[in-house]
Structure 1
Amino acid sequence: MVSKHIYLQLILRTVLLSLTALAVGFLFFGEKYILVGFALCLLVVQIYSFIYYVNQTNRKIAYFFDAIKNEDFTLRFPEKLSSKSLKELNHSLNMLNAMVQDIHLKKQAQEQFYQEILKQADIGIMTVNPKGHILYANPTIEKLLNYHPLNHVKQLKQIDEKLYAKFQDLNPFESSIHPLTNEREKKELAVKATAMNLDGEPLLLVVVQDIRKELDEKETDSWVKLIRVLTHEIMNTITPITSISESILKYYKKGENLLAIEELQEQHLQSTVKGLEVIKGQGSDLMNFVHSYRKFLSVPEPDRELIYAQNFLEKVKLLLGNKSGVDPIDISIAVDPQDLELYIDVKQITQVLVNLGKNAQQSIGNQQNGKIDFIAGINRKGKKFVQVRDNGPGIPEDLIEEIFVPFFTTKNTGTGIGLSLSKQIMRLHKGTIQVISRGQTVFTLTFD
């Protein structure tokens, strides 16, 4: 619609210029020189108006793209104009500016969120390019190495030459352990690297951990896998945004110059709107991913209370219902001793057990004689526990170590944070969650 009105304006002005020029010639040969003078003045005014109109439109588009390039979203074009074509053009540019600003703000919020995640991580993380430049180093790794700021791998030589040598020879997916001693303490640093690609540049993601104080090597692997998932999700979302943005820009530029307004096509403007809708959708998908991760990180401290295990498990059984297929699934409860009490956050542990129960139901499916057992008791070490057992097909051995990694899932639906969230809840309860899948699958929640 915008290009149509501008096109009509250009045709009308061109026709008026042609008619005025013909009038000047006609009057000149008719020796009506006074009228020729007036016609010439009118022709000059029309030429000036035509040039001003074209330049005004081009300047607006040039200002718009310059503002976008400089991330300046304060530019606003007046929409209360007498010219309908310019009014609609200004309105479209303002709408486009608002959409790009919204995407930019969401991208900034997401970037700040991920930066905050890495800053708060209890594990050292840094990215290194092929030239040895350290593009990012979180505060934890600077604290572990007692060096700030970290800008290049060569700085490690000042910390420890052997550590520097290990970094020099560190290849993707390799891990090593290095003792680091200073005047205050001795650390056992577990170093692991993985390859990643950002904007076509190969990078090395290095994770460093003091295994004497923080996590063991399995948790290091989990962090690397988690960050790889984050990177994968971000790149899968951002790549189409970059590609579509480049395609849209080609509609309005030829080389380094902007196209004249008469060269714009209605089809390109329609493609621009469709492309921006796709970009908006990609941004929404990334925000949903961020909300899932935020949910995983924002588990509140447990609000514990004493509750009878028998009553509690009966409630869980009721919440599960009977999601049976052909044959009903038998859900049983066994508590020993009968008056066993659990000191837990009821809502959080209910969430854990319902999640485990639903997983068991999905695993059993339409299997005949399906059975789920909830067992509560006290183990040999005097610790209270709750078990969830099912006689489904079980979990493949090669996936046992992966199921608690955030966002890892073998299902076609779901976010993959159910079991990792359960593990987080158990950690907040100062307890553990373990799984064994041999013949039958058994998840055991142990409370301190």
Structure 2
Amino acid sequence: MASRNFYFQLIFRVLLIALTALALAFSIVWEWYFTLAFAAFFLWAQVHFLIKFINSTNRKIAYFFDAIRNEDFTLRFPERVSIESFEELNKSLNRVNDLIQEVHLQLQVKEQYYQEILKQASIGIMTFNEKGHILFANPTLEKLLNYTPLNHIKQLAQVDEKLYEVFKTFQPFERKLFQLTNEREQIQLALKSTPLTLDGQSLLLVVVQDIHQELDEKETESWVRLIRVLTHEIMNTITPIASISDSIIKYYRKGGEIVPLEKLDESQIKNTLKGLEVIKEQGGDLMDFVQSYRSLLNVPEPNRAIIDGVGLLEKIDVLMSARLATDTKFSVSCSPKDLEFFIDEKQITQVLINLGKNALQSVKETENGQVHMIAGIDAEGIKYIEVRDNGPGIPPDLMDEIFVPFFTTKNEGTGIGLSLSKRVMQMHGGNLKVHSVPNRETVFRLTFNQSK
């Protein structure tokens, strides 16, 4: 609220203008030309100073915002003035100025802090606008690409023409793998994009990570698991053969000499035949094992065609109905009804039969056992088929082992069903993943990353 002094000044100026206007009128009536000129000039001066007096507050606020916009925090307003209301206004403006300056300094510190984090990050980070201008690229990215400075994505063509094409067509929320080859080495890059808006400008944030070491570690780990399983299976087959062979040799050789035929009795000959039969059986099992390994390596390329989703699941439903136990329920559903898959029908059918058979076996001892096969499209437009069951589930310590070839917890089977199924899905450009909550649900999910 304005002070009494402000009101007095305002009233005095208004009265003075009124008196000047009255003198101006009298001058016009009495034709006092000198007085008329003086009164007109004096009236103009009074109006001008009144407007200037009233607008002084607006000018201060305008100066204040101009200074803030230009990040000039040195502007100070006098806090000792004759008008009390102006004094309070000046103090308030100075306090707001100090507060904004403090916030501005804090933001600068945080910005420097985040900039330093981005510079020291172990992954490459880049942001560029719709025209391809690069607004930020951290040193890690420049080191990965062996190119600096990066100002436009067209410069990536000098690193690798295909890499430029990847960035030029990059879409929000897209993930890509790219193998970068230069004179020094081959680098496997994982690219992930995220859209963002800054100051009304649409930008694309791309994270670039060298996953060569991670892939090497995963590959080594996979080989170790496979070798462990192969060793276990081969040793289980070879050990009885070696033991029986040693027992048979003892029948026919004693003290380093061959036992004459006349000294052999009928029981030794019968045991020899039994041992040879076991050796033949074990050898056959080993041949079947090797044949299973060959079948895993020699999966043919998919012969794809557009297949109706409803028809595919109805076919699986018929094939699975013969395997149902008394209390087991098997059902299929497809949404939308016109869902289609661009797949090799024989291969995917075999995968679904294998998963369905495993699911039915897992719920065999479960009360009200249920297996549900679902086909659909998720929120990201990816087509999928899920095989769900409410069986005992998969123990967490075995989740990383179930897709290893020849690994099995069953007394029957070769243990290549799941690994072969995953291989088929990979050749279809998709994937096979599993989620399991023990004694609640197990879900095997086939995803098809395809546009058709």
TM value normalised by structure 1 = 0.49
With normalisation by structure 2, the TM-score equals: 0.49
Kindly indicate whether structure 1 or structure 2 has the higher relative contact order, using CA contacts under 8 Å at least 6 residues apart. Answer: 1
Tell which structure's C-alpha radius of gyration is larger.
2
